[in-house]
Amino acid sequence: MTSIRTRKEEKMARINMSQNQGNVPAAGALAQPRVSSIAGVTALICFLAAGFGAVYLESLGVAENLVVVFAILMSLVGLYFMFAIQVARQWEKAVVLRLGKIRGLKGPGLFWIIPIIDVVTTWIDHRVMVTPFNAEKTLTKDTVPVDVDAVLFWMVWDAEKAALEVENYRAAITWASQTALREIIGQMYLADILVGRAKMDADLQKIIDERTNPWGISVQSVEIRDVIIPAGLEDAMSRQAQAERERQARVILGESEEQIAHSFSDASKAYINNPTALHLRAMNMLFEGLKQKGALVIVPSSAVDTMNLGGLSGMISLAQQNLPAEAVTPAKAKE
């Protein structure tokens, strides 16, 4: 069942969601220059060679101008290696532009670029990404305002399209997901949203995938996390559910009474031509009731007359009165 959270939990969830969305870097912006460990070590070796080489050349008495030129050249070589050697991780692709035009995708692994001429604009992550999104105060088909939180699982299958066809594919997929969620909510009744979450997930995935597929992005799945309804409506739904349970309990009780009545009707047909069996059954019921200590059994007068219980009780009382006298006579005879 879709959970209905309290207002405090709702506020905390939205704050966390906004923080998570704010930490997502803008994919459309120019990527920050990376310096790999290989490039750093190579550049360091060049810088050290420039310093020690300059000292060595000075010790040999080489002209100062030549020493300065050597140091500058080695430093430039070090800077070249620092920015030319690039390493893309296993799940990444680098979009490289040469003089403003697409040169191609590089990676994963080691690759070279020409500094200043080549620029790595974007590092595309090919792993499955998770993007939370929500729709606040959206009216359903039966005009009920609801807040819906969902999670989108997606991945980039074409890095070139993701970098060239849309400015910021992360922000674009977030906005596309929110608008699709609002459209779906407006086409469904509240009861369908609360119960038919699987259908809602499938419809959302289809709509978002159609919008993001031209950007080289594929939607893996969409999951509705929470549906938040107004507090007044929540109380009304709770009372309705309680009334429905009471109605079902009374219906079950009535059906049980009907079954018992049918059983008694069938039993009466068995006793209608056999009064002896009826008397035995009645006496058995009295016996079972009197077995309990302190039990009180009320027998209708018609049943007493029918089963001749009056005479039976009289005989039992007479037997109880004669029992002590018969027990005393043998005792006196022994004396």
Pairing of strands 92-98, 118-125: antiparallel
The pLDDT score that the predictor gives to residue 142 is 82
109: in domain: yes
- Alpha-helix runs per DSSP H in 89-168: 159-164
- Alpha-helix runs per DSSP H in the chain: 7-22, 37-59, 64-84, 159-164, 169-186, 190-195, 197-212, 231-271, 275-290, 301-307, 309-334
Domain boundary among 58, 87, 122: 122
Domain that holds residue 246: 232-272
From CA 22, how far away is CA 3, in angstroms rounded? 26
Say yes or no: 14 and 162 in one domain: yes
Q: Determine phi and psi for 140, rounding to 5 degrees.
A: -80, 180
Say yes or no: 260 and 298 in one domain: no
Task: Specify the pTM.
Answer: 0.60
Chain segment 275-325, per-residue pLDDT in tens: 777 667 777 776 676 666 666 666 665 655 655 555 555 545 545 555 554
Number of domains in the chain: 4
- pLDDT < 50 regions, the chain: 1-8, 10-15, 17-28, 315, 318, 325-329, 331-335
2: in domain: no
Residue 222 near residue 181 (C-beta atoms within 8 A): no
326: in domain: no
Domain CATH for 162: 3.30.479.30
Residue 50 near residue 71 (C-beta atoms within 8 A): yes
188: in domain: yes
From CA 31, how far away is CA 141, in angstroms rounded? 44
32: in domain: no
